[in-house]
Structure 1
Amino acid sequence: MPEGDTVFRAAERLRTALAGKTLTRSDFRVPRYATVDLVGDVVTEVGSYGKHLFIRTDRVSIHTHLKMEGVWRVFHRGQRWTKPPVTARLVLATDEFEAVGFELGKVQVLPRTEEHTVIDHLGPDLLGPNWDAAEAQRRLSEYPRRPIGLALLDQRNLAGIGNIYRSEICFLRRVHPATPVGDIPDLPALVDEAHRVLGKAAHQPPWRPLAYGRTRRPCQRCGTAIVSRLLGEDDPADRITQRERGIYFCPRCQPEPTN
Structure 2
Amino acid sequence: MPEGDTVFRTAAKLRAALAGEELARSDFRVPRYATVDLRGQQVTEVGSYGKHLFVRTPTVSVHTHLKMEGEWRVFRCGQRWTKPRVSARIVLGTEDVEAVGFSLGTVEVLRAEDEHTVTDHLGPDLLGPNWDPEEAVRRLRRYTDQPIGLALLDQRNLAGIGNIYRSEVCYLRRVHPATPVGAVGDLTALVHEAHRVLTKAAHEPPWRPLAYGKTRRPCQRCATPLVVALLGESVPDRDRTARRERGIYFCPRCQPAPGTSE
Shared fold per TM-score greater than 0.5: yes
C-alpha distance in 1 between matches for 2:199 and 2:42: 30
Code of the aligned partner of 2:146: R
Structure 1 alignment gaps of length 5 or more:
none
Question: % of aligned pairs identical?
Answer: 74
Spell out, residue by residue over 1:198-241, the C-alpha distance to the aligned partner (whole angstroms, 9 max, x if none): 00000000100000011111111111111111101145646675
1:103 aligned to 2:103? yes
1:112 aligned to 2:133? no
C-alpha distance in 1 between matches for 2:243 and 2:20: 39
Mark the CA change 1:5 to 1:240 in structure 2 (over 3 Å): closer, same or farther.
Answer: farther
Match of 1:233 in 2: 233
C-alpha distance in 2 between matches for 1:40 and 1:112: 16
Match of 1:70 in 2: 70
Match of 2:23 in 1: 23
Match of 1:249 in 2: 250
C-alpha distance in 2 between matches for 1:215 and 1:28: 42
C-alpha distance in 1 between matches for 2:34 and 2:40: 17
Match of 1:223 in 2: 223
Mark the CA change 1:240 to 1:109 in structure 2 (over 3 Å): closer, same or farther.
Answer: farther
Mark the CA change 1:116 to 1:163 in structure 2 (over 3 Å): closer, same or farther.
Answer: same
Mark the CA change 1:240 to 1:34 in structure 2 (over 3 Å): closer, same or farther.
Answer: farther
RMSD of the TM alignment (CA)? 1.2
Mark the CA change 1:239 to 1:82 in structure 2 (over 3 Å): closer, same or farther.
Answer: farther
What pairs up with 1:95-244 in 2 under 5 angstroms?
95-235=95-235, 237=237, 242=245
C-alpha distance in 2 between matches for 1:251 and 1:205: 28
The answer as to whether partners of 2:234 and 2:243 remain within 8 angstroms in 1 is: no
Spell out, residue by residue over 1:120-142, the C-alpha distance to the aligned partner (whole angstroms, 9 max, x if none): 00000000000000000000001
C-alpha distance in 1 between matches for 2:127 and 2:120: 16
Q: TM-score, normalised by structure 1?
A: 0.97
C-alpha distance in 2 between matches for 1:2 and 1:201: 12
C-alpha distance in 2 between matches for 1:91 and 1:155: 28
C-alpha distance in 1 between matches for 2:63 and 2:212: 29
Match of 1:50 in 2: 50
Code of the aligned partner of 1:258: G
**Number of equivalent positions:** 257
What SS does the corresponding residue of 1:124 show, helix, strand or coil? coil
C-alpha distance in 2 between matches for 1:208 and 1:11: 22
C-alpha distance in 2 between matches for 1:239 and 1:113: 36
C-alpha distance in 1 between matches for 2:44 and 2:147: 41
Q: TM-score, normalised by structure 2?
A: 0.96
Match of 2:60 in 1: 60
What SS does the corresponding residue of 1:233 show, helix, strand or coil? strand
Spell out, residue by residue over 1:158-209, the C-alpha distance to the aligned partner (whole angstroms, 9 max, x if none): 0000000000000000000010111111110000000000000000001000
What SS does the corresponding residue of 2:86 show, helix, strand or coil? helix
C-alpha distance in 2 between matches for 1:113 and 1:19: 19
What SS does the corresponding residue of 2:233 show, helix, strand or coil? coil
Match of 1:88 in 2: 88
Code of the aligned partner of 2:156: R
Code of the aligned partner of 2:115: E
Q: Give the drift of 1:77.
A: 1.0
Spell out, residue by residue over 1:96-133, the C-alpha distance to the aligned partner (whole angstroms, 9 max, x if none): 11000000000000001110001100000000000000
The answer as to whether partners of 2:234 and 2:242 remain within 8 angstroms in 1 is: no
